[in-house]
Amino acid sequence: VVANGYVYVIGGYDSSSQSTVYYGKLNSDGTIGAWNTTTILPQTLSSQAAVVANGYVYVIGGYDDSWYQSTVYYGKLNSDGTIGAWNTTTILPQRLRRQTAVVANGYVYVIGGYGDSAYQSTVYYGKLNSDGTIGAWNTTTILPQKLINQTSVVANGYVYVIGGFNGSDYLSTVYYTSLARISMAGTLDLVGLTSGSLTDSSGQTGGTIYAGDIFSNNNLEVTGNAQIQGSQSVGNNLSVFGDATFNAGSNAELGAWVTSGASLPAVRSYAQAAVTNGYLYMVGGNDGSANTTVYYSRLNSDGSYNSWSTTTGLPTGLVEHTTVVNNGYIYALGGDNWSSYYSTAYFAKINSDGTMGSWTNSTILPDERSRHSSIIANGYVYVIGGYDGSIVVTTVYYARLASNGSVGSWNTTTLLPLPRDYHTSVVANGYVYVIGGYDGSSSVSSVYYAALNSDGTVGTWNTTTILPKAFYIHTSTVTNGYVYVFGGYTGSSLTSVYYAKINRNGTLDSWYLTKTLPNALYAGSSVVANGYIYVLGGSDDSASRSAVYYSRLPRVSIAADLDLVGITSGSLTNAAGNTGGTIYAGDIHSNNNLEVAGNATIWGSAGISGGLSIQGSSTNTPSPLFNVGTTTGTTLFNILSSGFVGIGVTSPTGLLDVAGGVKIGAGYAGMGTTAPTNGMLLVQGNVGIGTTDPTSYKLRVGDTCQATGTNSCVDFAELYESSEPMEPGDVVAIDIEQSPEKFVKKSSQAYQANVIGIVSTSPAIAIEGSSVGFMGGDYTNDPDKPAVALAGRVPVKIATTSAMIQPGDFMSASDIPGRAMRTLRAGTVIGKALETWIPGQDKDTVLTFINLSWFDPSWYLTVEGSLGIKDGYDISYSSQFPSPTPTPIASSSSEASAAAMVLGSDSTQAVFNNLTFQTGTVQLDLSVLGNLSVRGGLTVDGPATFKQDTVFEKLVSFIGDVIFKGKVTFNNPPSFTENTAGVATIPNLAQSTDVVFTQPYDQVPIVVVSLMANDQAKIPSDIQVAVINLSNTGFTVALNKPAPTDLVYNWVAIVALRPSTAPTPIVTPEPIPTATPAPIEPTPSPSPSPEATTTNTPGV
């Protein structure tokens, strides 16, 4: 069989059946290249049938030296001629050998053969599926007689069966029958209803059709020129109504040069032209200095172009650079400004109106480069040869182009055989060409070519037909299977235009001279568009030029209808047995539908301006319906016929299967019956992140962060702005001076009341405003915005002055900033310790369970003439004295016992080390000759007499009543609890505020209220204040009219044992207006809206 320019020999017989598969490349001169082997058949076979369709080769039936076969194998045909793995598809209804097979209209036909020990006349057919498989086999009209070893072909909508053997005679009979077809009694108009043309790009009036054979059952009319390279047979009369030219040479002659078009707005040489989307561009160049300007013009269908406009200029002036376009982006690579050489790789988005977006410098070249050449092929950009500022180089760089226009990392591939700059390059048929140029000492005429590999690398460089003369600083382009070279320099500027045919094996045919340029030039630029060649700018031997020339390329122009098949029957064919011919064109445009019965492969980019509809088969097999991937086989996007969609997944298992992260932009997304009208994402159902079973959770996040030992990831934290740098483990307090701008700072006082938490080391959940983050163990603390752990377990820094800590001990702030200590007295606690800490050990933190609360130690010491210790408490230890051997202490009561009681050895001071009384009371007197140190609480049930001056170094709490029978003197200002004195604020426009005592009084106290000194000037003289609703639980501070601003009142509450009964006048406040509140004047910092009443924040 033949496919893609290769011929294949499959299996066969050589004293036994074979499984080998050979293939060889078909050369343009009819010869066959070297034979190679590819994937062998799964079994040995001879007398089988083979066909090619839709990029697959099929091997049907055959003989394996033991019995006939019904197996059908198929393998994928690769572009390099190899065959992929063999697979089996639907077997034949019977075993067959020596049958024939043909393909037509998406079906494969199996004709005759030998099976079931008899010659056969049966004809089977099966549908060819897009994935290479064959549908169910059916039978159709049988042959007139039984046959084997016949020949079968398809042509013009008919299948032919020629010769064969019927079991007794060799036959010369030829049978034929019509295939299913679309018959058209009228004409096929490819463009419009009554007139138009077959176009190959926007605005072009004539495309190009290539095919093996074109058959017309009626007339073939050509309104333009027709060139026939081979022989021409005319079965009837030949009428020529105009001039007829028969050219024995090539068919790539150019038309006359048109010089009447609009010149560039300014002279340009060493600039670079590009064409895309119907627009012509001229980028940078020389007008006496390196220029940043970019000109563009709209192309017309007749080759003319509109006036020039400017669009976004280059970031820097460039000459001797290269410009290429790809996938809606334009690139300017390397270059210089006549003094500095660049490695830049600029790119810009091309807008639909021809303008450009801003230029971006993407991945720079590995080295400075100018005077080089560049091409685009298979999604890669190449920079070939050039000058690095000191020498001419042989280097070839290439990089992958991303869909967003950016350039991937640059790599080097096969070097040029010799240094080259001021050369040109073109790409065609999978080959890249390097034409002429300068080698550092003289101009050259050599032409190199190399195959382009699918991974972006370049194959071995070879030489092909040299140019007729050596020159450089020329320009080149390629179209319609020919390469064209314009102008150049070799001591003086040139007018010559050469062209050569590109052979299928990459070589070039002989060079021919065609219509010369209107003016000699070098350092110009050339492009091809819509069947025309354009040469722009350049320089002659005296100055840079602004002229633009264009010439019409050879073509077949059809002004009326083109019927490729015929009025009633026929087909476009290119080989015996093949039902479809091949069309080659630079661009193919259809103004209506384009239908492909087989597979379509697009090697470059595909752009779709309208909708895209893909209809899969009705099978339940989850075969790929739409697949986007890389040339290395990586799947990027995949839609299966089952409806499953995969992103980065080859075989998606759900309606949407994504490998990696998902980003939702500013739009809304809905998962359920409706999309959200506000917000980013609406999910109607349970959501699992990192888990496959969110059944009982609206949102379940899997174990992305593990807690082991003392590790974190087990706390809930909130991010706060801090007024000083903070680290994980710091105790956090409210910064009352800077809040709310800077909410928090390190704690700095022992038992500090306004602590709120601990800076988390690695939170499991962190919130900031309305944002919630589920951490993955990779959290990094921000010293200016720490994550404050509000709940859970978190390590806390310990003060070196702390007492020993055991699991379960309460923890409070210490007087060392940001550090905690064991709680030894009543006060605010931040949580409970979960591990042991011993003073002096090399350990800085203790894992703590966050639990903000108030703690009052529950242990106490009772002395009733004798010392009793209850509730089992380790009351003291000391590092001052050695620990002697524990000595039991005798007791006068069997109810009292001492466990592990040890006295210090110092005769002047006894220290109890680990003294615990488990039950009972010591009935004897306890005398201590030296000092008595009690680490816990001390409770005295009876009278306590202090005969000498007594000093309390720490806070003393009196739980019951205290009576001072003598004078009381305070050496320092006294402090009262929040139950005795405080402040009350009446907000702006309010008339009262409530004060609630933290503990009820035994009787109603006397309350005195006074306005803060700073607020005296804020109120009119007619506003009066009074205390109302006074009780033992609180009172109300009230005004006779609404406050004109926030007013702060001091209050003091005392209880008199025998209070005076003198009457106290009551001020009745004016009623609070509620129907129409007074308007609030706007201010730079508006006050908060008043509430009806406000609970004060007491404290002194």
**Tally of residues, the chain:** 1100
pLDDT of residue 31: 92
| Bridge partners for 635 per DSSP | 629
Structure tokens at 859: 């242990």
Q: Is the pTM of this model over 0.75?
A: no
Q: Is 1085 helix (H, G, I), strand (E, B) or coil?
A: coil
- Measured CA to CA, the distance from residue 412 to residue 913 in angstroms comes to 79
pLDDT of the residue at 1056: 75
* CATH class as words, domain 269-342+351-552: mainly beta
pLDDT of residue 764: 83
Mean pLDDT, the chain cut into blocks of 10 residues (1100 residues total): 93 94 91 94 96 95 93 94 95 95 94 93 95 95 95 92 94 90 47 38 42 56 57 55 44 86 94 95 96 96 93 97 96 97 97 94 96 96 97 97 94 97 96 97 97 95 96 95 96 95 94 94 95 95 94 63 37 35 49 56 60 61 70 76 83 83 59 57 65 61 49 77 93 86 90 94 84 72 91 93 94 96 93 93 91 76 49 42 40 36 38 44 52 64 69 67 73 76 89 91 89 75 88 92 88 75 51 44 39 36
| CA–CA gap between residue 17 and residue 64 (Å, rounded) | 6
Q: According to CATH, where is 2.60.40 located in the chain?
A: 970-1073+1085-1100
Tokens linked to 182: 């679309």
Q: Would the CA dihedral through 861, 862, 867, 871 be positive or negative?
A: negative
Pairing mode, strands 669-671 and 681-683? parallel
Alpha carbon 569 to chain centroid distance? Answer: 53
Backbone angles phi, psi at 748, to 5 degrees: -140, 0
Strand-by-strand arrangement of the 329-333 sheet: 322-326, 329-333, 345-349, 360-361
Cα(755)–Cα(731) distance, rounded to whole angstroms?
7
Listed in sequence order, the residues at least 6 apart from 867 whose beta carbon sits closer than 8 Å to its beta carbon are 861, 922, 926
For residues 984 and 1037, give the distance between their C-alpha atoms in angstroms, rounded to a whole number.
8
pLDDT of residue 909: 38
Does the domain made of 970-1073+1085-1100 have the CATH classification 3.40.50? no
Integer Cα distance of 879 and 612 in angstroms: 85
Do 252 and 514 form a contact (C-beta atoms < 8 A)? yes
Q: What is the DSSP string of 1029-1075?
A: EEETTEEEEEESS--SS-EEEEEEEE--SS--------PPPPPPP-S
Token readout for 136 is 């169910």
Q: And the tokens for 991?
A: 């008339």
To the question of domain 715-855 being in CATH 3.30.1050.10, the answer is no
The full 3-state SS of 428-489, as one line of letters, equals ECCEEEEEEEECCCCEEEEEEEEEECCCCCECCCEECCCCCCCCECCEEEEECCEEEEECCE
pLDDT at 856: 81
Bridge-based pairing state of the strands 715-719 and 765-768: parallel
Q: How far apart are the C-alpha atoms of 774 and 763, rounded to whole Å? A: 8
Residues of the chain with CATH 2.40.300.10: 715-855
Q: Which residues 6+ apart lie within 8 Å of 297 measured at CB?
A: 262, 279, 280, 305, 306, 307, 308, 309
Query: Is residue 158 classed as helix, strand or coil in its secondary structure?
Result: strand
Residue 415: alpha-carbon gap to chain centroid: 35
Cβ–Cβ < 8 Å for 160, 173: no
Sort 682 into a burial class: Cβ within 10 Å, 0-12 / 13-18 / 19+: middle
What are the start-end ranges of the E strands in 523-622? Answer: 525-529, 532-536, 548-552
Give the pLDDT of residue 911. 41
Question: What's 2-178's CATH class?
Answer: mainly beta
Residues of the chain with CATH 2.120.10.80: 2-178, 269-342+351-552
pLDDT at 369: 97
| Residue type for position 758 | I
- How do residues 92-118 score in pLDDT, each as one tens digit? 999 999 999 999 988 999 999 999 889
Cβ-contact 426, 506 below 8 angstroms? no
CA distances from 767 to 552, 712, 716 (A): 68, 16, 8
C-alpha pair distances (Å), 940 with each of 710, 943, 959: 42, 7, 11
Q: What angle do CA 893, 897, 902 make, to 5 degrees?
A: 125
